[in-house]
Chain A
Amino acid sequence: MTPTVSASGLSLRYGGTRALDEVSLRLTAGVTGLLGPNGAGKTTLLRVLATALPADQGAFTVLGHDPATARGRQEVRRRLGYLPQTPGFHPDFTAFEFVDYVAILKEITDRGARHREVRRVLDEVGLADVRGKRIRKLSGGMRQRVALAAALAGDPGFLVLDEPTVGLDPEQRMRFREMIAGAGEGRTVLLSTHQTEDVAMLCHRVIVMAGGRVRFEGTPAELTARAAGRVWSSTERDSGARAGWRTGTGSFRNVGDPPAGADLLEPTLEDGYLLTLDDAGAEVTA
């Protein structure tokens, strides 16, 4: 499949910290999950790809446009939908006004067409009934959906979502998954998340980052397959396990290098993710 986003050797330093270290990736249509622990460089990478932050080194293109030039940057922005990690809102705007305002900043200038588009995206995120309500009166989950609607306005070809499900209850998270899955139909979505379930349920590709570097890039099944034969059950915590925890049945689930004759279990995406981080030397908490 032809890549929507193609990045090569992206590096960025914050003082003495290497936030991005020679990151190369290719994103195609569909939802790509970006997993990594705190400080892995996920948000920095998203901000670079969203043209909010220039990289020190390397280059990338979005839908064929190079943001290194002012003109290219504008073209990228015309094709971009961005939901930041902590989106701000203008609390005295209604949901409709806020999305309308963002749509104007996206240069959707025809009033009738813009208002139709605003109504469409608010419908898409399930906020049609509250579009006239002031944002200050909306719940946290609804506000997050307003931000997603703003990102979707103008039908962007490349959608960047930075931890959109943080702080949402399970029901809201499920709604968000439905919306993101819908948004991924026919466009490229890069979804940064801590939730491996999100990736397992939504993504056709997954990238794992740690220490500013890409540690894995492949399908969720391939990430899961990394843990094949490396997850086992035991009655006591196995000293050879890199991570292990007591499950609801009382037995221990261990991840690492199993002893001979261990009772092997079916691996999950999270097992593959933990082992990938462990292989990368990142701190594994489980």
Chain B
Amino acid sequence: MTTLVEKPAVSGTRNEPGGAFKAVLALTLFESRRLLTRIPVLLAFTVYIGWTVWRAGRAWGDYPALQDADRATQGAPMLVGLAVLLSVNQAALRSRRHGTERHFAVLVLPHWCRTVAHALSVAAAALVTAVCVAGQFGREAMRPGAIGQGSVAELLVGPLTVLLFGLAGLLVAGLVRSALVAPLLVVLFLFLFLFFSGLDYGGRWLLPAVEEATSNTLPSDLMGRPAAWHALYLAGLALLLGLVAVLVAGGRKPAVFAGAAGALALTLVGGVAQSAGDSPELVKARERATVHPEQVQSCVRRDGSTYCAFPEWGPRVGDWAAVVDRVRSLAGGSAHEQDVVVRQRVDARYGLSGDAALDPLKRPHEVTVGTQWGGNRVPEFSAAVAGVLIAGDEKAATSICDGRIVPLMWLAVGWESDPLDALRRVRLNDTVTGSDSVLQPTNGLYMTEAQTEVLRALLDLPRAEAGARVEDRWDELTAPKITAARAAGLLGLPAPEGEDKCLS
């Protein structure tokens, strides 16, 4: 029926060992380079990196808690993921759109191997995202004020999101041969994100990146985020999508079927485990840290004062002590030598979603410091220390509603390089005139218009002179029920014209 050739003409054979494998790798490099230079992907990476750099430059980010910083790497990669989804979908449909499918079908490498290369090119995009995430987190970890520890599983979420979205785009290209479907898929994903992010504990973990409603910072061991299970769920789901895409493309090999089954198992295990909720042990630990923090804290003494912190916050004692020393240095009378106990506190009972205000402490000379630091948290803590030095305890300090606010706020902001800016930052509405609330780690204070006027006049004096006047009249200035006008008189300042009436 056929005649075999005895001596063939010139032939360009390339029958190398592992040729298909090497070809897939070569194609992966080719497709990766193309994917990473697609305009949507370039644009997404530019926005992502730009946003990260801008965010890293903000001053109040100088004291990051790394258990929060890891989670902060998860949102922006979704943008990259959506761009990769669109671009991979387009690349996978390229042959069909431009009529090369019939031609390429007679080339050596089968269609499903091209799908494998597309899938691996998505992995390359995920790898670049991982580098960005590592850079973003590394920058935070390198800050001198960084405390706590990040979670590798949380850091993996960003790259896994890119992988998941990209492979979803690839699978859709195999199932529906239309370029219109991918943009619709992006819209669907955004809708699902809005829908699921509003669900309860279990449901929202079906999303790639799970944001928290508040910025409560907890010790690492009280976080209760099933980050490892979630990473397993995402990895399993991404792998499943990729392998199904290969199956759809014709790669119906036993290894691919087995891989898809394994990936499905990983997805289910991760998906179920991540939805389990908080364990009883975690609930107890949170209760203990909230109600009896002294049971889990260690304390150090500095210049007579005691600083009690959760274990991860040990390196921050120096920052707190510096504030205490500066506040105390401005005080007069016995307050100048008064030792305090700084107690770190957090309401961990509701996990990261809780943002309940802490109640003021009643124990003498014990002052609350929160789990966050830097920016506005510094003058807020400074005001709390000043309150305890003047009123004796935190509960009494937060009830002050008279002219004692003037020396209190002098102690709180007088030592700052820009006291007026510190005053603006510590007040609820960012004002430096009129009445406003003053924020503290526990309950706030209220400053009347008249008190604000007297304080502003005091701050207008040369620092040494203002300090001397406050120290000279310390006892009268810190006597209960003193009015703003009386305080102004004692300090040699003009009488205030504004209202001097506390909120009832």
Chain A interface residues toward B at CB < 8 A: 2-4, 6-9, 26, 28-29, 50-52, 58-61, 63-64, 66, 74-75, 77-80, 82, 84, 86-91, 97, 100-102, 104-109, 111, 114, 154-158, 186-188
Contacts and interface: CB of A to CB of B under 8 A. Distances in A.
Contacts of B95: 88, 90
A4 B11 CA distance: 10
A59 B1 CA distance: 7
Contacts of A106: 14, 107-109
B253 interface: no
A111 B33 CA distance: 14
Given A9-B1, A157-B9, A187-B10, 13 more contacts: A2-B6, A50-B106, A63-B9, A84-B103, A87-B100, A88-B100, A88-B103, A90-B95, A90-B98, A107-B109, A156-B12, A157-B10, A157-B11
Interface size class of B (residues with CB under 8 A): 35 or more
Interface centre among A66, A86, A101, A158 (most CB of B within 10 A): A101
B58 interface: no
B19 A109 contact: yes
A108 B98 contact: no
A86 B102 CA distance: 10
Contacts of B106: 50-52, 77, 80, 82
B98 A26 contact: no
Contacts of B23: 104-105, 107-109
Contacts of A26: 3
B19 A91 contact: no
B2 A79 contact: no
A101 B30 CA distance: 8
Contacts, number: 141
Nearest to A91: B98
Nearest to B91: A90
B2 A102 contact: no
21 contacts: A2-B7, A8-B3, A26-B3, A51-B106, A52-B106, A77-B106, A80-B106, A86-B99, A88-B95, A90-B100, A97-B30, A102-B107, A104-B23, A104-B27, A104-B109, A105-B104, A107-B20, A109-B22, A154-B12, A187-B9, A187-B11
A74 B10 contact: no
B115 to A, nearest CB: 13
Given A51-B106, A106-B108, A114-B26, A186 B19 contact: no
Interface centre among A78, A86, A87 (most CB of B within 10 A): A78
Nearest to A26: B3
